[in-house]
Structure 1
C-alpha cells in the first residue's frame, strides 16, 4: 500500500483494524482537526476519508518527530521506494516526484482520473476509491466527491528537511495530463528548503499515446506512454531516427530524466525541431 498504492492491501488493513475506528484513533492520537471517517453515504470506502493538507503535514510531523523509530523507518522507508506505476497501473509519480530530485518519500492520492500508459507487473482493482479528497469544515458529508482529485504529499531533501502537501481538485472532465501538469506547476512554484530541483526545461506536449523509448529510435523498447497533453522535463537532446508526422519531420529526440528515456521532439510544443536552451 505504501509503495504501490495497492487498493486490495488498503482494503485489508481497513477491514482488519476497525475501519472507521482507525480514523477516529488517529484523530485523537495526532491531534488532527480536519480529518473524519468516510461520509455516511460511503461508509466502507476508506478512500473517502476526509482530510486536509494541514492535517497531512501533522501526520508527517508525527512520523518524523514523535513516532517510534521502528514505525518511522518502516513507513518512510517504504515511501522512499514509491513505484512510478501503482499496483493498478496508475502513474503516481506526479507533483513532488516529478518536481524534485531524490531524496524524497512520497504518498500520493487521486480520484476520478485515469492516467493511462503506465505499466505494472500486476494489476488489481477494487471498488475502493484510491484517493482522499479535501473537505470543508462542515465535515465528511460536505466532501466534494464529484470533481477529480490529485494530491501529492511527502518529505523532501536530505534528512527529510521539508514536508510538502499539495491538495487539488479539478473541473469535471479534466484529463490526467492537464491535472498532472497543473499539480506539477503548483508544486514547483513552492519555496521548499533543501529540495533539489532537476535540471532541464519544462515543455508542453501534444498528441496521444506518445511513447517514451529506451533509445532515440522507434524500434527501441517502450518505457511508458505519456498522458495526453502532459508537460515534461527535457534534460538534454540528441539526433536519432527521423520521425514524420505530416506536415512535420524531425530527427531530434529529448531525454526525459523523470522517465529515464527518450521521446521524439516532434511531439514537443516548440516551434523549432530542437527544444531551445536544452543542451545536446
Structure 2
C-alpha cells in the first residue's frame, strides 16, 4: 500500500528495492502438497463433526483407545517471537471444515494499507464498474486506480456499508476521508471478507489475486508472506504495506492449497526502524510457521 497523487502518498524506500517492475504472474503446480496445519484454540466458531454410530457386530472386538490429542505447535506467543518489537495477528481458516485451525490476536486492529482494496473492488463490481481495471488495481496493487474508485464509489461509505453488509466487527473507515489506506481492519474481519468474496464474487477478484505480480505498480516486491512461504502450493493473494509513521505495516492475505482450501491472513506492524526487507522476511517466517 502506498499513498499516491496527493491523496495517499506513502514514502516507500523503493530505491533499495529497485525500480524494475516485474509483471509476470506465478504459475500453479498441478499436484500441490497438502498444507500441514496445526490445531489451536480459536476465537472463531467451529463446527463439531458428528461421531458415526458403530455397526452392531455379533462378535464385537474391544474398542481401541483414541490417540492422544495433538498439541498445537503454533500459538500466539510463538508467532510474537517472530516479530520482535512489533505486533502480529494470524488466522488460518479451513474452508472444508468451516473452522479456524489457527487464530492469534485475531481481533487486534491494524491500519489496512492496500487490503482495503478488497472492499473497494466489491463496491465497484457491485455497481457494474470496470472489471478489467478492478483486476489491475488488485493484481498490481495500483494506488491511482484505488484512489479514483474511492472518490467515485463513496469514499468512507464503502467501508461502513460493506462492513455492515458482511458483518465486520472490527473494521472502521479512516478518520481522514481521503486516506483510504488508513482504514482499520482485523485479521478476523479479513477472513470474513474472503469468505464473502469467495461465496458471492469469486470470478474477477480471485482471478486478479491469482495473477498478483511480483512487484506492485510502485516497484515494491509483493511476494513476501504467502507467495514466498507456500512453495509449490497454489495461492491467490492480496498484500498490503505502508510507512511514514512511527510504524510500518506489512500484511499478507489470500487463499492457499487445492481449490483455495485455506484462507490465510497475517497482519504485522513493525517499528519504523525495521526496514522493509526485514519486515517482509518476518511475515514470511510467520506464514511458514502456519503452513508447516
- Equivalent residue in structure 2 for 1:75, among 201, 205, 220: 205
Structure 1: gaps of 5 or more residues: 114-144, 193-280
Asked if 1:37 corresponds to 2:146, the answer is: no
Is residue 236–residue 256 contact of structure 2 (8 Å, CA) maintained in 1? yes
Structure with higher RCO (Cα < 8 A, 6+ apart):
2
CA distance in 2, matches of 1:105, 1:98: 12
1:164 match: 264
2:157 match: 21
SS across alignment from 1:190: helix
1:215 match: none
- Equivalent residue in structure 1 for 2:246, among 133, 146, 159: 146
1:53 match: 187
Structure 2 length as normaliser, TM-score?
A: 0.51
SS across alignment from 1:2: helix
Structure 1 stretches of 4+ moved >3 Å: none
Give deviations 1:31-67, integer Å, cap 9, x for gaps: 000101002xx221001111111100000011123x1
More strand by share: 1
CA distance in 1, matches of 2:262, 2:143: 28
SS across alignment from 1:152: strand
User: 1:173: Cα distance to partner?
Assistant: 1.6
Structure 2: gaps of 5 or more residues: 1-136
Asked if 1:187 corresponds to 2:256, the answer is: no
User: 1:161: Cα distance to partner?
Assistant: 0.5
1:62 match: 196
User: 1:112: Cα distance to partner?
Assistant: 1.2
User: 1:191: Cα distance to partner?
Assistant: 3.9
Asked if 1:88 corresponds to 2:218, the answer is: yes
CA distance in 2, matches of 1:191, 1:89: 28
User: 1:160: Cα distance to partner?
Assistant: 0.6
- Equivalent residue in structure 1 for 2:146, among 3, 6, 10: 10
